[in-house]
Chains A and B, each alone.
Chain A
Amino acid sequence: MTGRFRRLDETDRAPVRLTVDGSDITALTGDTLMVAMLANGHALRSAEFGPERRAGFCLMGACQDCWVRDADGNAFRACSTEVAEGLAISTQPLTADWAVAP
């Protein structure tokens, strides 16, 4: 499927595989997590206080709109995190049992 972002150049980099909401996606070495997710999809997360999906805003670590989490609940600012093989990212809010002590 076509994502939100369009790659214009630099497409001959080695592929990196990760999952988003359980689906496999292929990114390129050197992608930010944000580019990896938005080259393959349309959103990073849901707004907490509105009905809309969010896809980041400033891309320079200032607006904090692009925080996502992995399966263990670790948070990543997608615009300033490089993709890594095997990452499993969720675009959904934390589940209600997030607080349960490990």
Chain B
Amino acid sequence: MSAAESTADVAIIGGGLMGCSAAFFLAQRGLSVVLLETDKVGRQASGTNFGNVRRQGRPISQLPLANRASRIWRSANELLGADVEYLQNGHIRVCFRDRPENVGKMEEYAAQAREEGLDLELLSGNVLRERFPWLGADVLAGSHSALDGHANPRLAAPAFARAAMKLGAQVVEDTKIVHAAKIGEDFVLEAEDGRRFRAPTLLVTAGAWAGKIVSQFGEPVKLTPRAPTMSVTEPVPYAILPAVGVMTPDEVETVYFRQVARGNIVLGGSTRAPSYPDEYRAYVMPQNTMTQFHHLRRLAPALAKLQVIRVWSGIEGYTDDSLPVMGPSGTVPGLFYAFGFSGSGFQIGPGVGETMAELIATGHTDIPIEGYSIKRFA
């Protein structure tokens, strides 16, 4: 194989939001970066998710990372020189009337979150309906996070990739890495068409596809590919500012919605479908669209009159404990991981990128990520 070799300080496999933002922050630190993407950057989980820039509801231990990400989202347009449609209009997490036990959990969560710098306001259903008159009678109580918001996932990862390119990063799309190995001091990555890439540091941000790569380094992780159920309505006058979601132990009830400034309402949640990473396919199951509509009508009855004009899905990788794999390899020096965000990666994405860049460039980060070590699956 005499294919040309491309070298960099850091190679990244996987051009989702994690990989693209890591490429940007690494380039900002002056490192040379080559980002390798099988398809197009930001097309799967990063581009097809709901677009929640939501800290509340995340594990308390993840809030420092989420807070870091929030700071990046707030300045994203200036940082990237592109509009990612970030709206800091707040996020409301509600529980339904038939699950009163969740009110106590919300209170407990709010108390802990406050210590991590996330202020949540707990409101009764009636107070919520006074302030947000579109909420339905089924809403028992809710928690309002004023400084959370939402953004456009179709635009975010590509915007980070383009900003990284402006700083000199190589972004190589349509390039599937089929073999990865550390040879001497360098990682050598081979693409399907024989092209080779070489770097002393490798970051794997390959989402649902990461399993095959990490197993080549002897650190297998089980990832379950799933597909979120997403829909969008016709545009209607802008009336709903915050993003809204349901806190519930029952997946079928976990619905959420947000209105974009153009007027369309993005609907998400309810049961996820399986997805097929090898075929690069994810399908929306109509029965899930129907349960989504049903629970959304409980959440905001006026949505019932709006027309849904499109549904979509994408490929997400879930770990068994729904927590990401993030940090250095347990076995191979110079190898780093950030994948398996289990349907909850969008908000923290830029924070993950900045943290991984910091870790790679300095060998250290103050952000607590020990709990995400790949060693927990060893």
Contact = CB atoms under 8 A, between A and B. Distances in A.
A–B contact, 8 Å CB criterion (strictly below): yes
Interface of A: 48-49, 64, 67, 69, 73-75, 93-102
Nearest to B263: A48
B237 A98 contact: yes
Interface stretch (B64-72, B133-141, B216-224): B133-141
A102 B307 contact: no
Contact of A101 (B133, B306, B309): B133
Interface stretch (B147-155, B172-180, B297-305): B297-305
A96 B305 contact: no
A93 B238 CA distance: 11
Contacts of A101: 129, 133-137, 300-302
B237 A93 contact: yes
Contacts of B137: 101
Q: In the A-B complex, list the 6 residue pairs whose CB atoms are closest, starting with the nearest.
A: A99-B134, A99-B239, A100-B133, A99-B302, A48-B235, A73-B305
Contacts of B133: 97, 99-101
B262 interface: yes
B240 interface: yes
A49 B262 contact: yes
A95 B237 contact: yes
15 contacts: A48-B262, A49-B235, A73-B302, A75-B306, A98-B236, A98-B237, A98-B302, A99-B133, A99-B134, A100-B133, A101-B134, A101-B135, A101-B136, A101-B137, A101-B300
Interface string B108-144: 0000000000000000000001000111110000000
Given A99-B133, A101-B133, A75 B307 contact: yes
Interface residues of B, number: 23
A96 B239 contact: yes
B305 A74 contact: yes
B300 A99 contact: yes
B248 to A, nearest CB: 20
Interface of B: 129, 133-137, 234-240, 262-263, 300-303, 305-307, 309
Contacts of A67: 234, 307
A93 B129 CA distance: 24
Given A49-B235, A98-B236, A99-B302, 4 more contacts: A95-B237, A96-B239, A97-B239, A101-B301
| Main SS at interface, chain A | loop
> Considering residues A74, A99, A100, A101, which has the most beta carbons from chain B within 10 angstroms of its beta carbon?
A99
Nearest to A97: B239
Q: Which of A49, A67, A95, A98 has the most CB of B within 10 A?
A: A98
Nearest to A102: B301
B99 to A, nearest CB: 19
A45 B309 CA distance: 18
Contact of A102 (B238, B239, B302): B302
Contacts of B262: 48-49
B136 A99 contact: no
A74 B263 CA distance: 18
B97 to A, nearest CB: 14
A99 to B, nearest CB: 4
B94 to A, nearest CB: 13
Contacts of A48: 235, 262-263
A94 B234 contact: no
B261 to A, nearest CB: 12
B243 to A, nearest CB: 14
B244 to A, nearest CB: 11
A75 B302 contact: no
A99 B301 CA distance: 8
A94 B306 CA distance: 11
A75 B239 contact: no
A95 B240 CA distance: 13
Contacts of A73: 302, 305
A94 B305 CA distance: 11
A69 B234 CA distance: 13
Contacts of A96: 237-239
A90 to B, nearest CB: 13
Nearest to A77: B307
Contacts of B238: 96
A67 B233 CA distance: 13
